[in-house]
Amino acid sequence: MPSSAPTFDDLLAGAKRSAVHLELRDAYYSNPRFEAWRRGEHVDWADRASWWRPFHQQIAEAVGRGVRVRRARVVSEPVTEYIRWEHYQTRANLAAGEDVRWLPRAAATELLVPANDFWIFDDEVIEFHHFSGEGQFLKDEFSAVPALVKQHAAAFEQVWDNARPHDQYEI
């Protein structure tokens, strides 16, 4: 039986104005690119084909349609090895057209920050990401309940307004 839930790809492809992403974890599941970085293998930024992924293309296409794509990361300091790698890899997000900011967790004390990572598309649909304690992806949950979307959009904006642009956040 086909699922009636939207996919990230569908939501991003259908976005007309905005897509915002809040990340709250200090580590996620391991992946081959992270493991390569841990071994000292670094990206050849001059060779775009070696690091450009379908995700980056989707973001670039959305930005090309006029969608503003923003990502905010709330991180503990000192940062984890995984966050150090994400900071390094963020160059690809920026190249795709994302605007990325970082908020040290200690600077978020006065903010009401949601419990789960999420994406919000056009202030209409929210996609929550659920992870295990070890950072393994478990499932996505979608909602178009206006009050829930509005509440999380407001939380994102608070984080965004207090966060530092990527080029001003040093690891």
pLDDT at 4: 73
Name the amino acid, one letter, at 166.
H
- Is 1's pLDDT higher than 50? no
As a whole-number percent, the residues of the chain with pLDDT over 70 amount to 98
- How many Cβ atoms are within 10 Å of 125's Cβ, its own excluded? 18
Name the amino acid, one letter, at 22.
L
Q: What are the residues facing 99 on neighbouring strands?
A: 70
User: Topology of domain 8-168, per CATH?
Assistant: Endonuclease; Chain A (3.30.870)
- Is 79's pLDDT higher than 80? yes
Please state the domain extents for the chain. Answer: 8-168
Three-state DSSP class for residue 49: helix
Q: What is the pLDDT of residues 98-122, one digit of tens each?
A: 999 999 999 999 999 999 999 999 9
Q: What is the pLDDT of residues 3-59, one digit of tens each?
A: 578 899 999 999 999 999 999 999 998 899 999 999 999 999 999 999 999 999 999
Q: What average pLDDT does the structure give for the chain?
A: 96
pLDDT at 136: 94
Q: What's the whole-model pTM score?
A: 0.95
